Copies of this chain bind each other. A is one copy, B any other.
Amino acid sequence: MMKEEEHMSFMRRAIALAIEGVESGAGGPFGAVVVKNGEIVGEGYNRVTSSCDPTAHAEIVAMREACQKMNTFQLEGCILYTSCEPCPMCFGAIYWARPDKVYYAATKEDAAEALFDDAFIYKELSLPSSNRRIPFLPLLNQEGKAPFESWMDKEDREAY
Contacts and interface: CB of A to CB of B under 8 A. Distances in A.
A52 B97 CA distance: 10
Nearest to A106: B144
B151 A15 contact: no
Nearest to A142: B105
Contacts of A57: 96
A114 B151 contact: yes
A140 B52 contact: no
Interface residues of A, number: 93
A67 B88 contact: no
Q: How many copies does the complex hold?
A: 2
A92 B87 contact: yes
A113 to B, nearest CB: 7
20 contacts: A12-B140, A18-B146, A22-B151, A25-B158, A28-B151, A31-B147, A48-B160, A54-B67, A83-B144, A88-B88, A88-B125, A91-B125, A95-B121, A95-B124, A99-B134, A101-B135, A103-B139, A104-B139, A106-B144, A106-B148
Contacts of A110: 141, 144-145, 148
A51 to B, nearest CB: 8
A126 interface: yes
B146 A19 contact: yes
